Structure 1
Amino acid sequence: MPTGANNKRKHTYIWVSAIILIFGIFAVYEITKRVKSGTVVEKDRMSMDAKNTEVGFVVNQGEKRKVPDFSFYNQDSVLVTNEDYKGKVYVVEFFFTTCPTICPIMTKNLVDLQDTFKDDGDFGVASFTINPRYDTPSVLTEYAKKYGITDADWHLLTGDQEKIYELAQQGFYIFTNENDDAPGGFEHSGMFALVDKNGYIRSREDEFGNPLIYYRGTITEEQEVNSDGESQQITILKEDIKKLLAE
């Protein structure tokens, strides 16, 4: 075989080897990153077709993450605990009634979910205020009236601020913070968590194979029509709720 052909083949092997090496390094990096974070989604097989995608369990340090015990008063001054949600699929959020930015959008999205599943008695919502000093039961009652919150299983919960923050940050790993420089005096992520009938936090993977874990509550379903890919959070949240209700 001519020397030129040999050199050409040798260069081809080098390029193929380099490409394989690069992809291998990238794959190892992604796997290592997910292992170090301690958070993955346990699943059997997930299709990239959203309607056929399974809703996996969120796993942390090898264990399925479950909602920790909580006990707070709702807008009717009734004590509500995690046991009251047993047997229900529910969405969790952290908000405050005087929020001037994302909370109104989040609440409207939850009202949309409320109306979508109004005929299903196994659906609920848990809204924890991060400003309990102001958000008393009476204030939460007015907030519920303002936004049309009518579901008996949608509890607006208030109580000890330290315990609420502990629940948010250590129970759900959802960011909350009191900050005088933030709009309204508080910071939060605007994420929704989805919980199944047995109290486990559930999720699907995104289009890149990474655990979604939370659903962005700050984009309405109408906005999703004109947005790209990852913004379709409320639509897929509805799909995932339906799947968990059917389990």
Structure 2
Amino acid sequence: MKNKSYIGISFIILVFGIYAIPKIIDRVKNNDISVQDRLNVPVKEKKSGEAKNLVKIGNAPQFSLTDQNGKTISNKDFEGKVYVVEFFFSTCPSICPVMNQNMLMIEDEFGKNKNFGIASFTINPTNDTPEVLKKHAEQLGVTSPNWHFLTGDQDYIYNIANKGFNIYAGESKKEGDAGFEHSGYFALVDKKGNIRSRKDKSGNPIIFYTGLNYKDKEGFQDDLQGKYKPGIHAIKEDIAILLDE
């Protein structure tokens, strides 16, 4: 009886081999063996492919300023890095604290990556000296050596903001503005120095991301200036895509 059982099992194995082995060989020849797993789940697209959907808005402007450590920092220091740009001032009583906290969320996720950086340009350089900016960075809890708080000539910085990145910054006499007003937008720059962004639901480039909200998974959120832009959740996704590009 045992011998008959062995013969039966051997026969089943032989039949399976005759049926399955040619199919396996064909898959290897056609390079299909890694296309899907045995549960027939398609392999996800690579993020580098998704980066093609991030529009190139234009070249980031050239600049050379002083950071919180008294070091001269230019756009060349960001070559080969993905970086985020903001315009703020340390005594801002309104939107800057929100922007700073949201930028900290970005730093927490990407700050240890040597290919990532942040450029925070002050629009009140008269007050925001390197010493003031260094204290500001310490109070925020900034740990990344690639987060540079930049100061210099005011007109020069305004030119970088308004003409270079097309992010509004200026002086203000309105009560509650502390003498300055600016957009709450963040700009995203890729490793080659191109300003990049995703598209909205209509297929148009959003150009900038609002630094004033985080919970934007469902779409667009009011950035307190009457406009709608994807925020921190979106820019974090797109930073990850560009880092893999």
Is TM more than 0.5 here?
yes
Q: 1:121-136 counterparts in 2 under 5 A? A: 121-136=114-129
Q: Residues 68 and 224 from structure 1, CA distance in 2 versus in 1: closer, same or farther, beyond 3 angstroms? A: closer
Name the counterpart of 2:193: 199
Shift of residue 109 of structure 1?
Answer: 0.7
1:205-244 to structure 2, matched below 5 A, reads 205-219=199-213, 221=214, 223-224=215-216, 229-231=219-221, 232-244=230-242
CA displacement, residues 194-230 of structure 1 (integer Å, 9 cap, x when unaligned): 00001110011111222110000011x2x446xx521
1:100 partnered with 2:93: yes
User: In the aligned structure 1, how far is the partner of 2:178 from the partner of 2:81?
Assistant: 32
Give the % identical residues: 48
Once the two structures are superposed, the pairs formed by residues 70-219 of structure 1 within 5 Å of their partners are: 70-182=63-175, 183-219=177-213
Secondary structure class of the residue paired with 2:127? coil
d(CA) in 2 for partners of 1:143 and 1:168?
21
Counterparts of 1:173 and 1:69 in 2: how far apart (Å)?
A: 13
Q: Distance in 1 between matches of 2:112 and 2:157?
A: 30
For structure 1, the residue ranges without an aligned partner over 5 or more in a row are 1-50, 59-64
Offset at residue 119 of structure 1 (A): 3.2
8 Å contact from structure 2 (residues 216, 234) kept in 1: no
Aligned pairs, number: 187
Question: Which of these two proteins has the greater Rg computed from alpha carbons?
Answer: 2
SS of equivalent residue, structure 1 residue 239? helix
Listed as ranges, the matches of 1:56-67 within 5 Å are: 56-58=55-57, 65-67=58-60
Taking the aligned partners of 1:91 and 1:118, their CA distance within structure 2 comes to: 11
Structure 2 match to 1:20 = none
Q: 1-side partners of 2:158 and 2:111: how far apart?
A: 30
Going by fraction, where is helix more abundant, 1 or 2?
1
Q: Structure 2 counterpart of 1:96, which letter?
A: F
How far off its partner does 1:55 sit?
1.2
Distance in 2, matches of 1:200 and 1:168, equals 15
AA matched with 1:207: K
Which stretches of structure 1, 4 residues or longer, exceed 6 Å deviation after superposition? none
Give the conservation status (yes or no) of the 8 Å contact 2:212–2:231: no
Aligned residue for 1:16?
A: none
What residue number does 1:17 align with? none
Unaligned runs of 5+ in 2: 1-48, 222-229
Alignment partner, residue 55 of structure 1: 54
CA distance, structure 2, for counterparts of residue 68 and residue 173 of structure 1: 10
CA apart distance, 1:113: 0.4
Measured after TM superposition, the shift of residue 72 of structure 1 is: 0.3
Q: Structure 2 length normalisation: TM-score? A: 0.73
